[in-house]
Amino acid sequence: MADAPTFAVVGHPNRGKSSVVATLSQNDSIAIAMEPGTTRDSHAYPLKVDDEVLYTLIDTPGFQRPRKVLAWLEAHSASASDRPDTVRAFYLQHRDDPHFHDECELLRPILEDNAGIIYVVDGSVPYSPANEAEMTILQWTGRPSLALINAIGADDHSAAWENALGQYFRIVRRFNAVTAPFAQHLGLLRGFGQLESRWETRLNSAADHLQQQREQRQLQSAELVSRALSDMMQLRVSGSPGTDSTGEQARQRLQQKWLDAQRRRERQLRQSIERLYLHHRVQRHENELYWENEDLFSEHSRLLWGVSRKQLATAGFGAGALGGVGIDALTFGTSLGAGALVGGVLGAAGSYFYAGRLAKWSLGPLQQGQRELRYGPVTDLQFGYVILGRALNHWFQVSHRNHAGRGPLQLEQAGSHWLAGLSKDDQRQLQGLLQRLSKGTTDGRRQAHWVGVINRAMDAFSEWRQTRDDA
């Protein structure tokens, strides 16, 4: 976008400036620390969509000596009409003075690049008149500006800040850089357009581009989930029984090979979605995708993301929609059953495995007196619902995570089932997809159709999560 707007993010040290830049530029590589002075020089972070710069954010150092700067300005200004020139004169005279390094660095993009001003304060800290020197200096620049109240701590002094900031800025918004929803990002862009008429069209267009990008990322995520679901439901591994082990040992080795491959594929899916949303530094409480004692093959995962008998009936599947797949088979009956927990290597990994129900065993053709042992594909559709539920849960967390977030990714769970929000027709379509995958009858010709079903499942999941979170 030609002449894309530039915004200088300014304020007192350790008030969340870098967090605001990280979120609004969708860049999680920006250093965020609790120690004052983490940012000593100004750095530009353009936000691009399809290689087109929509706007640029500049992370600046914090004010260090605002009262001394203001005293100089007041001593050299004759009237309100010369205030912008007086600020420029201060910058030109002191830009090589180490005592005013930080002030000159934050003024540089405002004076040299004609940047708009985003002034950030911490709403969890009580308002202090000491901030008025900073706000007065910014006001003297004559540049369009708005203020953000970014609450870092638990206390809330936002009301007092709003009253004070309103004396200096036309637009004052509460904006938590870590938790602010996407709609607030777009609202800030459109708000700045109201302050600078020559930016209004560009910023409205930027907001539209970002909304379209978000919708496209969801559709791309649906494609990634669809491919992973297909790969995992149809996975088959094979191996020779060997002559140095019993049949049971050979089966356990092959089952472990299948489990490991499934975990790798799920991890690959999650990493792909994180890259799609430009989250390259997500922290996890995990070991091979092990979240809060919730491994892919755990009883916990099955209960959370599987489909119970009641949910099957409520969701409108019914026995007829199962196409010959029994409800007992779908839900593994009412307990793990005898022999469901495989010992040895599988037990050491902490994984529960529903022997003889999750996938099928088969033998290959006779070769050199031995038949190849094969395991897979999945025959129990319950596993498909577990894969899909976990995938949508992860996608929701990543897609709603701001780039200022530095805490571990927490995949929260809930008691109700998200499928209830999906239309009856899409529930049947989803069931049909899992049946086709288990039978190996998908040939890719209906891939766009299945992606659409999963995309609508994402909408249903989002609505379910947001309704639950608001309750």
pLDDT of residue 349: 31
Tally of CA atoms within 13 A in the half-sphere of 184 that contains its CB: 18
Tokens for 466, please give them: 């947001």
3-state secondary structure of 304: helix
Secondary structure of residue 2 in the 3-state scheme: coil
The per-residue pLDDT for 354 is 43
DSSP states of 108-171 as a string?
Answer: HHHHHS--EEEEEE-TTS---TTHHHHHHHHHHHT--EEEEE---SS---HHHHHHHHTTT-SE
**Model pLDDT, residue 238:** 87
pLDDT digits (tens, 9 = 90+) for 84-103: 999 999 999 999 999 999 99
Q: Determine the pLDDT at residue 351.
A: 31
**pLDDT one-digit tens code per residue, 314-325:** 544 443 333 333
Start-to-end CA span in the chain (Å): 41
Residue 25: both structure tokens together = 């530029």
Query: Contact 87/107 with Cβ under 8 angstroms?
Result: yes
Q: Report the alpha-carbon distance of residue 60 to residue 18 in Å, rounded.
A: 8
- Alpha carbon distance 30, 278 (integer Å): 12
Cα–Cα distances in angstroms (integers) from residue 249 to residues 304, 340, 375, 431, in the given order: 31, 16, 14, 35
The pLDDT of residue 147 is 95
Q: Domains plus CATH for the chain?
A: 6-195 (3.40.50.300), 214-470 (no CATH)
pLDDT tens for 332-381 read 322 222 222 222 223 223 233 343 467 777 776 666 666 788 888 888 88
Residue type (1 letter), 8: A
Cα separation, 16 vs 395, in Å, equals 26
**DSSP secondary structure code for residue 423 in this structure:** -
Best CA proximity match to 59, nearest among 2, 4, 126, 13: 13
Which regions of the chain are under pLDDT 50?
Answer: 1, 34-38, 285-293, 312, 315-356, 414
